[in-house]
């Protein structure tokens, strides 16, 4: 779990995702399928099987959500049934995203039309899901899709098929930009002092802080921290004064020298690592970076940038990472470049690794959508910041506030040596080129 | 002197202003007239009377400049004279602004045409000055002005007439935006720790620092300081940690409570005061604020804002200051409002006081031009930041890094009480309404 404050997120701030549909459409089974693959149940709320059931969960990689299971809205059990239907529909007021679960065996009918009409009138975002899709032939799927108001996601909750694709639909449809509530505020206590190390050379813009530095600074003071800002050359003065910061956050470009100055026992990270976590999912990226030293001659790698006019920093990262991969593989790596917003270019399955830009022009939802897309295709994904930190041999130290992620690097070749001496590269793992 | 690092400014960074003209046009006398009124000679450079003479000076309120006196360019003394002329014209390469001094007794002729042609071909900024103007009748002035390529400034160096107007021409014509080299860097030594106190309420923009805070922060770290940024509510934690900052800079809106927390012996100022100094001339503003409690019933006051769409902060300042003046005078003050760039509205002479906005949309040159214009008219000028600090009773403390300016407040009624209790107002000074 990369978001350590998850369990503390108040229910009110979590997006609410509600499953609606007929009785026996498999809503509960679908919820369990998502749960089984993607959820850690935090606090199940007790309720009867016919009352709506709310579950506060960590839906990886989205973060904290509330999933709501409802009774079938076609309940015809008299007065009690009418009450159940009303309770189900009452959930709409709390719903940020509705999953309209269609039973493949029963098809699209009056109950689904009624729900759809309700969603539209209320302005509720929704995803159409056809469950039990395994009983349909391809022709029957096409026939059913034609009768639906928009393309559905076909899943089989029983077999666990299509669940990742549904997750991506959820990420793409859930309203909001999905920003996490804090960049760094969960890593310290109010009253703690944090150090921000900046690096401005002659070419740096005058009289300004770049936006990520402003955002981190505000996040620190907004959460009751004291933010000590210092140029890298003056960092020794901080420790000479006897100041013991709770955390040091440095400009990535000077991580190496800064790591020499900051005592080992003080957690040290970079703006890049913090934003990798804030903008996407740090665990995915750290898992992805483990594939970097395993890229072998003949492998294909996708370098993806969200802007068509990348920043200077992006240019530098692309050149550095591309050069590193070519040296490692004796120039036998095939690198594709993709620029632009929207989904990553399909098919992804042939790639050994996707290396993504810092996503400064994407919001978290857009970056998560790409992460889920890569996961669907079974391709690891890393970003520039995490990849460069690895290549510079500073990633392990940069993850010091996230010890559970540091552990993911235990089996990976020592990073610093990797970067310094490509000849020490170990044989790539068995996976061949596509 | 409000700019304490003046004498340390290297000559290369100072604008060079050179007087050119015929022999006996009164160039040296004019230089002395400016000097006598506006200059503190710092380091006169030795030279013969016929070689160019360079003087590094503090030209109030512009700051550090180099004034250059040259030999007459109509020297016809043979080979030696030709050498002198060449040396004079060589100064053009160092000149940021040329003063073309015309002798009223000799009028406009070939030597002046030659200089003008030279300035134009070189792209040198220039000001036309007619010296000895006291010998001309108004009709003769008009006649001479008609023959000149643009309107000249008439001065009498001997009588000291027109020198302030010339100064304003210099401010308006000298190239560059006249920014000082530092906002706060001259108030501490490298390695010092400074505290910046911010105040963000619920309505404040998220995830950003406002520009003045960014500028001060960069100025601190660019000059080798450590910048500890903290919200006002958390300021006590700084001193509880035993940290002794060299200087505390606070958001003006919380100056009062912050002043209660910061120990008396630690200098404390506000972003407003620092920018009043950086954008204009703090001494002028402090002299101006002394007139605030002296505004009497029947007086006219000009409130001047540089933008036609003032900021929210400007709106608040205008309302607060206007209300304060009306209470003080029993609603018997006449307030004119002026919005827009360019010169202040003439005639200014009828005003008791000019109260100017923070000038965030003006550069220093533009603000200084207005300050000189007010001085020409003999009207004191203060700005919003300094006026509000006075009204809140915190100006004296806010000037603690500038003890020579604090002394200017010695004769002024106690500020805090002024602000709290309008009934304690002392009788206004004798000056009647215009």
pLDDT digits (tens, 9 = 90+) for A144-154: 999 998 999 99
Same structural domain, A303 and A346: yes
pLDDT, one tens digit per residue, over A154-172 is 999 988 899 888 988 998 8
Same structural domain, A13 and A97: yes
What is the distance between the alpha carbons of residues B322 and B333, in angstroms, rounded to a whole number? 9
**Tokens linked to A349:** 């399955």
Domain count along chain A? 3
To the nearest whole number, what is the mean pLDDT of chain A? 85
What is the distance between the alpha carbons of residues A117 and B202, in angstroms, rounded to a whole number? 38
Which of the two residues, B77 and A316, has the higher pLDDT score? A316
Same structural domain, A243 and A315: no
What is the distance between the alpha carbons of residues B16 and B125, in angstroms, rounded to a whole number? 11
* B189 in contact with A, Cβ within 8 Å: no
CA nearest to B235 within chain A: A226
Same structural domain, B32 and B130: yes
Average pLDDT value for residue range B139-150 = 92
* A221 in contact with B, Cβ within 8 Å: yes
pLDDT at position B414 is 65
Average pLDDT value for residue range B156-183 = 87
Domain range for B92 is: 6-173
Same structural domain, A311 and A377: yes
The reply to whether residue B226 touches residue A221, judged by beta carbons under 8 angstroms, is no
Contacts of B246 in chain A (CB under 8 A): none
What is the distance between the alpha carbons of residues A182 and A42, in angstroms, rounded to a whole number? 21
ipTM, two decimals: 0.74
Same structural domain, B78 and B210: no
The reply to whether residue A226 touches residue B207, judged by beta carbons under 8 angstroms, is no
Task: Examine residue B432 and state whether it is found in any structural domain, yes or no.
Answer: no
pLDDT, one tens digit per residue, over B201-244 is 887 888 899 889 999 999 999 999 999 999 999 999 999 999 99
Label residue A309 by pLDDT band (50, 70, 90): confident
Element of type H or E holding B128: strand B125-131
DSSP readout, B344-410?
Answer: PPSP-TT-SEEEE---TTS-HHHHHHHHHHHHHTT--EEEHHHHHHHHTT-HHHHTTT-HHHHGGGT
Lowest-pLDDT range of A10-19, A421-430, B278-287 = A421-430
pLDDT at position A389 is 92
What CATH number is associated with residue B261?
3.40.50.11420
Task: Examine residue A196 and state whether it is found in any structural domain, yes or no.
Answer: yes
What CATH number is associated with residue B364?
3.40.50.11410
> What region does B299 belong to: left with phi over 0, alpha with psi -120 to 50, or beta?
beta
Average pLDDT value for residue range B139-157 = 93
What is the distance between the alpha carbons of residues A2 and A368, in angstroms, rounded to a whole number? 14
What is the distance between the alpha carbons of residues B181 and B361, in angstroms, rounded to a whole number? 18
Domain edge (last residue) among A152, A173, A194: A173
pLDDT at position B13 is 65
Q: How far apart are the first and last CA of chain A?
A: 32
Label residue A84 by pLDDT band (50, 70, 90): confident
pLDDT, one tens digit per residue, over B71-86 is 888 866 677 778 888 8
Q: Count the alpha carbons within 13 Å of A142 in the hemisphere toward its beta carbon.
A: 3
Same structural domain, A69 and A134: yes
Same structural domain, B25 and B169: yes
| A61 cis-preceded (ω within 30 degrees of 0) | yes
Task: Examine residue B105 and state whether it is found in any structural domain, yes or no.
Answer: yes
Average pLDDT value for residue range B272-289 = 93
What is the distance between the alpha carbons of residues A18 and B281, in angstroms, rounded to a whole number? 63
Task: Examine residue B286 and state whether it is found in any structural domain, yes or no.
Answer: yes
Domain edge (last residue) among B253, B274, B295: B274
Contacts of B226 in chain A (CB under 8 A): 228-230, 234, 237-238
CA nearest to B191 within chain A: A237
Count of CB pairs separated by less than 8 Å, A with B? 87
Task: Examine residue A106 and state whether it is found in any structural domain, yes or no.
Answer: yes
Label residue B358 by pLDDT band (50, 70, 90): confident
Which of the two residues, B429 and B327, has the higher pLDDT score? B327
* B39 in contact with A, Cβ within 8 Å: no
Same structural domain, B37 and B146: yes
The reply to whether residue B206 touches residue A218, judged by beta carbons under 8 angstroms, is yes
Task: Examine residue A373 and state whether it is found in any structural domain, yes or no.
Answer: yes
Task: Examine residue B178 and state whether it is found in any structural domain, yes or no.
Answer: no
The reply to whether residue A218 touches residue B226, judged by beta carbons under 8 angstroms, is no
**The pLDDT of residue A302 is above 80:** yes
Contacts of B191 in chain A (CB under 8 A): 234, 237
Q: What 8-state DSSP symbol labels residue B231?
A: E
Question: Do the Cβ atoms of A77 and A24 come closer than 8 Å?
Answer: no
Question: Do the Cβ atoms of B129 and B102 come closer than 8 Å?
Answer: yes
Nearest neighbour of B226 by CB, restricted to A209, A224, A238: A238
What CATH number is associated with residue B139?
3.40.50.300
The alpha carbon of residue A197 is apart from the nearest alpha carbon of chain B, in Å, by 10
The reply to whether residue B221 touches residue A229, judged by beta carbons under 8 angstroms, is yes
Q: What 8-state DSSP symbol labels residue A65?
A: E
Contacts of A233 in chain B (CB under 8 A): 224
Same structural domain, A364 and A285: yes
* B235 in contact with A, Cβ within 8 Å: no
**The pLDDT of residue A199 is above 70:** yes
pLDDT at position B77 is 67
Same structural domain, A268 and A286: no
Domain edge (last residue) among B145, B173, B201: B173
Question: Do the Cβ atoms of B364 and B181 come closer than 8 Å?
Answer: no
pLDDT, one tens digit per residue, over B94-107 is 899 999 999 999 99
Contacts of B238 in chain A (CB under 8 A): 226
pLDDT at position A364 is 85
> What is residue A119's three-state secondary structure?
helix
Q: What percentage of chain A has pLDDT greater than the value 90?
A: 56
Task: Examine residue B429 and state whether it is found in any structural domain, yes or no.
Answer: no
- Residue of A94, A98, A132 lying closest to A115 (CA atoms): A98
The reply to whether residue A218 touches residue B208, judged by beta carbons under 8 angstroms, is yes
Triad A308, A309, A314: Cα angle to 5°: 105
Element of type H or E holding B275: helix B271-279
Report for A81-95, A225-239, B165-179: range of highest mean pLDDT:
A225-239
**The pLDDT of residue B44 is above 60:** no
Same structural domain, A86 and A143: yes
pLDDT, one tens digit per residue, over A107-137 is 999 999 999 999 998 888 999 999 999 999 9
What is the distance between the alpha carbons of residues B135 and B153, in angstroms, rounded to a whole number? 15
Burial (CB < 10 A; 0-12, 13-18, 19+), residue B166, is buried
Nearest neighbour of B224 by CB, restricted to A215, A234, A243: A234
């Amino acid at each position: 779990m990369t978001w350590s404050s998850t369990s503390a997120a108040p229910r009110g701030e979590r997006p609410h995702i509600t499953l609606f549909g007929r009785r026996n459409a498999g809503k509960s089974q679908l919820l369990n399928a998502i749960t089984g693959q993607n959820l850690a149940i935090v606090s199940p709320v007790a309720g009867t099987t016919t009352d709506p059931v709310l579950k506060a969960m960590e839906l990886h990689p989205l973060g904290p959500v509330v999933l709501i299971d409802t009774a079938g809205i076609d309940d015809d059990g008299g007065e009690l049934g009418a009450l159940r239907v009303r309770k189900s529909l009452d959930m709409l007021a709390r719903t940020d995203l509705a999953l309209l679960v269609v039973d493949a065996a029963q098809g699209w009918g009056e109950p689904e039309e009624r729900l759809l009409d309700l969603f539209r009138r209320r302005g509720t975002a929704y995803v159409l899901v056809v469950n039990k899709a395994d009983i349909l032939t391809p022709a029957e799927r096409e026939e059913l899709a034609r009768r639906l108001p928009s393309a559905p996601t076909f899943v089989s909750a029983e077999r666990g098929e299509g669940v990742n694709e549904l997750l991506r639909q959820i990420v793409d449809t859930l309203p909001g930009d999905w920003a996490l509530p804090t960049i760094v505020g969960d890593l310290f206590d109010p009253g703690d002092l944090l150090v921000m190390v900046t690096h401005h050379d002659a070419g740096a813009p005058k009289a300004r802080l770049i936006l990520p530095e402003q955002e981190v600074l505000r996040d620190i003071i907004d959460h009751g921290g004291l933010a000590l800002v210092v140029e890298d050359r003056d960092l020794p003065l901080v420790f000479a004064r006897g100041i013991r910061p709770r955390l040091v956050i440095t400009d990535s470009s000077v991580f190496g020298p800064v790591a020499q100055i900051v005592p080992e026992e003080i957690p040290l990270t970079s703006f890049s690592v913090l934003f990798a976590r804030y903008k996407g999912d740090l665990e995915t990226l750290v898992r992805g970076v483990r594939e970097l030293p395993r890229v072998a001659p003949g492998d294909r790698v996708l370098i993806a940038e969200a802007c068509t006019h990348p920043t200077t920093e992006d240019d530098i990262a692309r050149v550095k990472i591309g050069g590193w991969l070519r040296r490692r593989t004796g120039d036998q790596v095939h690198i594709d470049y993709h620029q632009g917003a929207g989904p990553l270019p399909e098919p992804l399955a042939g790639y050994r690794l996707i290396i993504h830009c810092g996503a400064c022009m994407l919001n978290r939802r857009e970056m998560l959508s790409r992460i889920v897309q890569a996961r669907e295709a079974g391709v690891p994904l890393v970003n520039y910041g995490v990849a460069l930190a690895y290549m510079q041999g500073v990633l392990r130290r940069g993850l010091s506030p996230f010890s559970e992620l540091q552990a993911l690097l235990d089996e990976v070749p020592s990073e610093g040596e990797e970067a310094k001496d490509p000849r020490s590269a170990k044989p790539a793992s068995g996976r061949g080129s596509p």
